[in-house]
Amino acid sequence: MKIYTKTGDKGTTALFSGARVPKYNLRIESYGTVDELNSYLGLIKDQEINTHYQEVLYQIQNDLFVIGSMLATPPQDEKLKSGKDRLNIFTIDSDSIRLLEREIDAMDTELEPMTNFILPGGHTTVSYCHIARCICRRAERLVVELNENEAVADVVLQYLNRLSDYLFVLARKLTKDLKVEEIKWIPNKK
């Protein structure tokens, strides 16, 4: 597979079906942000963290690749089902969301209840989680906007919403595991 094709030199890119759109297209922004998120998850996974979290992050990275392909396929292209035009579209389902929910619940049982908002920081790995959470929220906002114009599978919106929750709880759990102080936000009264 050749890395450069020169087909994007004039500011367009191909969707999964081969249709070309401008690189600033909201669909491209959506799956491009999911790709950015995936890169940050790789950075978190490469830290010295529990192997279980690395395995879960690996699964999430795979799910995000699938979500990227789902977002790269407009609704009209999903209907191509026969002959040489058939698209092999991978999808995620509610099992992927349930995995995130189980992981959130398991980590949450080991954490103190929250009494304040939490400021990102305390340790580089924790900060990476918060950056990933923010990117996830941006991806979610872009996908919600895309969904206003073209239908996006509900499971994609649900997954991104739950993933940002997972990343927040993972940041809290890693704060505990790494034995660093959780930085509570306490507003300064002036």
The tens digit of pLDDT for each residue in 2-12 reads: 676 665 666 76
Ranges of each domain in the chain: 13-177
Return the percentage of the chain with pLDDT > 90, whole number.
63
CATH number of 13-177: 1.20.1200.10
For the entire predicted model, the pTM comes to: 0.87
- Angle, helices 124-149/26-45, rounded to nearest 10 degrees: 160
How far apart CA 5 and CA 173 sit, in angstroms, is 43
How far apart CA 124 and CA 180 sit, in angstroms, is 11
Write out the two tokens for 113: 């209840």
Mean pLDDT of 43-50: 97
DSSP states of 82-93 = SGGG--------
Sign, CA dihedral 23-26-28-29, equals positive
